[in-house]
Chains A and B, each alone.
Chain A
Amino acid sequence: MRAVSFVKKLQWDLPGTVCRYGLTIGDVDNDGDNELVVGTAEGELYIFKGSELWQKIPGLGLVTSVAIGDIFNYGRNALVVICGDGWAHIFYSPRSVNPSIINATSTQQLIKETNDQDNIKHGHANMDIETAVNMTSSLSLDQVDGNNELSELSGKMECVHVQRIPTNTKMVLVADVDKDGANEMILGLTDRVVRSYRWSSNLELGRGKLVGLNKWECANQIGTVTLQHMADGTPTLLVAQPGGTFMRIKCNPEDCHLEEETRHQGNETAASCVDYQTLGISRMRNQNISTEIIGDLECIVENKVSNYEFKESLFKSSETQHGKNLKSVSLELKKNNSQSEIRKDSLSTAEGRRKSSTSENSKTNPSRDQVDGNVLGGNIIIGDYDVKSEKDSLLPTYKHFSRQDIGGNSKTNDLKGKSQTEIDVNIQNNLLQGKPYALATLDGTIMLVKDEIILWSMQVDHQIFALCRLDVTGDGSDEIVACAWDGQTYILDQQRNSVRFQFEEPVRAFCTGNYNVTPGFPTPCLVYNSFNNKIFLYYDVTLPSMVTKPLNPIEELDFEEKKILDNLLGNCTDIERQQKLQELTEWLLYGTS
């Protein structure tokens, strides 16, 4: 296997233990540059910016997981810090998105002494009033921040919210899981529970808080929770389960209702939103081995589906009128196209799928489990899914926000609009097929899966504990980065080309992301936390291509030039021709100028 050595690195001392999900890269202070956030089990939070430690926040408790995301649905990032002992902290940078506003008003530094909490309260109150009256919002959120928190020119993070949550949280995810345009906070707990929360800043509830939405119990220990969009654009949560399996949760009530209608069975609301995927050969795997999963891998290289088939699939889909059916049809198509690629093991599954999908087309009502050829089903999972009406009554803010967007907060509007178009594009792209997702187990199996078919799997002899995404080739499609306890790091593209990188020490925690060492230029980075209380950040981790190829200049010549070259080389065997070409290349490159 090809191996590389990355040399550009930054190194910081970091006393304390970092949990597996205790570090992340993201734009924590909304300045356009990405920072590295690390929380330790000793309760300290470190934020690195550029080549420096930018901020250190002590006294948080046992930090198990950090996430950067728009938890408030402001269109701006906040930092969510989850402690295993049952606390959720939210940090927010008062920095203005547009620094000129601060500069213009920076003379009024009189309100310096104002209490942080009051500031925030005031800020939120403003927000709420603003949204409640549904103004066209001449006073933007940025200006509110600018006016109230002038002292914070540096934009350092401030704790804006602390809340008690159940203990034993292992990881946190901030994402829109129910397709309503607002972000939820998803917690994965070590006691086999997945919970979802949403920020609510209702005036009646005071300053606003995280409101619990759902709780799902899994059959087994949770590996990772990741977001995955299905073929029809429905967001789902994939919860990794031991033995290279996972549970899929659909959080959007409408989707579930739709399914229920088609099935004419309304009694099992929760179970219908949850299904359990064993991915074909799982019985051959160790059922106790921990699993990592990563969803929504960007994939630029589309499977080449011919126009004819494309039309056919569209035609079929219009016939069946169901997103779900569309998916299975496209799956069938895919299977036909790339049968050779599919591993033998998954063929039987695929066969089963074809049968079931045809049976589905003929209007029988198989359960999802049967579709996937697995008998293990959602019935194991006990879930208490909120009904739609309850959600609406609990969360008025989201709607207000969306209206406010129309109103004219340009920044938020832009962001939302952008993400909306992105989603639209995604949906269009995904009309045919879902995005691939990857699984890795501790015993060293890495799999790329698309629509529940294993595209490929690979076995390595290192214990993989972390699975991340990173675009190292810069071609827009995500590479899979798998890190083992001993520091061996595998970078795989979606065509199964692999590159190895050996980090010299055992690794305690690992993450990837685009970090800004110099402002304005984010580069792909690998971040390692060693057992010697150090953080290593390898930046500019780029490879022009995943495979090395020889120089083959002939392929770019036009016909005439090729003919001349053939004449020059004369009649000879392939080996002679190769040698002559080598000679010619050497002469052209080094003998002439």
Chain B
Amino acid sequence: MNNLKDAHWFPLTSQGNIYSMTKLCSINGSNKVLVASLKRKIYSCEYHLMPNLHLRPLVKELLFTYIPSGAEIISIDAYNKSDSGDGFVIGITILKASTDTSVERYLNIYTEGAIDGEGDEGSSIEAIAQNCLMVELAYTPYHLYHTILPQQNAPNEVVWLLSGSDYKIHMIREDKSNHSYSESPIEKYFPELHDIQGIAIWINIYYYNNYNWRLTVIGCECGLVNVAITNVSELKICQSWKLRYDRPISNVSIFSLKNNIEKPRFLNSNNCKSFLNDQETKLNILVVNTNNAVVFMDVLNNGMDEDITLNGSETSDCILCSCIADINMDGQNEILLGTYGQEVLIFCFVNDTWELIIRKLFDAPVHSICYMDITHDGMKELIVLTQRGVHILQHNIVDVKDKWKKRYKKFLKENRI
């Protein structure tokens, strides 16, 4: 959007890739961004509110243990395993050429030790960085992804999915008894991810209908796109599609047009619970090949029939990444594409088609985009990882304030307060 203004920028000592940025979302609403660069340096970025109500960006290098010198970081991902506090689990895949012929590859998983009590929040991320569990890999890792493994009568477990150069997707799961992580056979849990016959560059899994169903999309290097609808409880693939493009698929994404943001509980005086209705949710799939981007609308009802090509997405070099975000705050998601041509293209859904509304130029090829609230104020910021550094862009405060005020008044009116 035009009202997005540079809030901060920090350089990277070496470039990253499309897997180099992840977010750390705390329960209390304070969020961080983790950015890895190829040559072992990992930075965290957050904002501190100063006493004079100014925001101060805080970028620090995190020293993760067990990343040997000479190793290169391929991908980074993180999740919060705790529902109540901060239980971050950070996964980093590294690659190290040990001799001329052999290459060592590892998945390092950093998590708080089971014995550790509640540490104070400031030091916890540093503590996590020192607590590493290693999984040696027999393949070159690609996309590191995490998803929920629904369980019948236990709390949902989060597992790692890692795509590899061996044309497989591997599931890596915590072995609590041994205090380690190990690979589990994927066909037992994710039959749709088994036997994909390609190197998956991007994986996206979306659970709906109260974790009873899931939609899975895999985009492969060879141009293959696998889409599957799976019944979770029976572990049965109900419907699946295979699409082939003649270009590598750099990104796939499942999204709905509307964001379901729960009304804050303290506003519901009359106790009518605003519930999420998944039946009405129309799921769309964005498939980004390096040349252009295609959206398949309402996949659950239409299958992969109703496709809309994003016009203009082919005009700015190879597309590397995408982000789904309601960046103009109209309640409807927009599609953001980051390109090698140093641009972020923003598409808006108007009149049943996706229209290019904004192109924004950056200083280097765009590797990753993320739209999140890093300033802790409810308004999200756009974070763009380019080849050279990380840009944080903030909405124009004055415009958003007006919007806020207008909607607040409308809310008061509707509730006759």
Contact = CB atoms under 8 A, between A and B. Distances in A.
Interface string B372-397: 01011111100000000101001111
Given A551-B404, A553-B405, A590 B8 contact: no
Contacts of B400: 551, 553, 589
Interface stretch (B147-155, B233-241, B329-337): B329-337
Nearest to B377: A550
Contacts of A583: 29, 264, 378
Contact of A550 (B10, B376, B391): B376
B361 A549 contact: no
B379 A593 contact: no
B174 interface: no
B262 A587 contact: yes
B29 A582 contact: yes
Contacts of A419: none
Contacts, number: 146
A513 to B, nearest CB: 21
B409 interface: yes
A548 B361 contact: no
B363 A582 contact: no
Given A3-B8, A586-B261, A551 B266 contact: no
Interface residues of A, number: 42
Contacts of B363: 5, 7
B361 to A, nearest CB: 5
A579 B28 contact: yes
Interface in B277-301: none
A4 B55 contact: no
A3 B408 contact: no
B267 interface: yes
Interface in B23-67: 28-29, 47, 49, 53-57
B339 to A, nearest CB: 14
B396 A544 contact: yes
Interface string A526-568: 0000000000000000011001111111001100010011001
Contacts of A497: 54
A502 interface: yes
Interface in A37-86: none
B54 A587 contact: no
Contact of A582 (B8, B54, B57, B376): B376
A421 interface: no
Nearest to A583: B264
A588 interface: yes
A585 B261 contact: no
B6 interface: yes
A277 B407 CA distance: 57
A577 to B, nearest CB: 10
Interface in B249-267: 259-264, 266-267
B404 A544 contact: no
Contact of B8 (A4, A569, A575): A4
Interface of B: 5-11, 28-29, 47, 49, 53-57, 259-264, 266-267, 326, 329-332, 342, 361-363, 373, 375-380, 389, 391, 394-397, 400-401, 403-405, 407-412, 417
Given A548-B55, A593-B329, 8 more contacts: A548-B7, A548-B54, A552-B53, A553-B400, A579-B28, A580-B266, A582-B373, A591-B260
Query: What 6 A-B pairs are tightest by C-beta distance, nearest first?
Result: A585-B378, A593-B331, A591-B261, A550-B377, A5-B9, A553-B404
